[in-house]
Amino acid sequence: GADLKERAKMHSSEVSSFVSKARATINEMANLPVPTIAAIDGTAVGGGLELALACDIRVAASSAKMGLVETKLAIIPGGGGTQRLPRAIGVSLAKELIFSARTVDGEEAKSIGLISHVVEQNEAGDAAYRRALALAREFLPQGPVAVRVAKLAINQGMEVDLVTGLAIEEACYAQTIPTKDRIEGLLAFKEKRPPRYKGE
What is the bridge-based pairing of β-strands 65-67 and 104-105?
Answer: antiparallel
CA distances from 44 to 56, 69, 186 (A): 16, 10, 43
What three-state secondary structure class fits 131?
helix
H or E stretch at 18: helix 12-30
> Catalytic site residues?
2, 47, 50, 70
User: Among 124, 137, 121, which Cα is nearest to 40's?
Assistant: 121
- Residue 53 near residue 22, CB atoms below 8 Å: no
Q: What is the DSSP string of 26-54?
A: HHHHHT-SS--EEEESSEEETHHHHHHHT
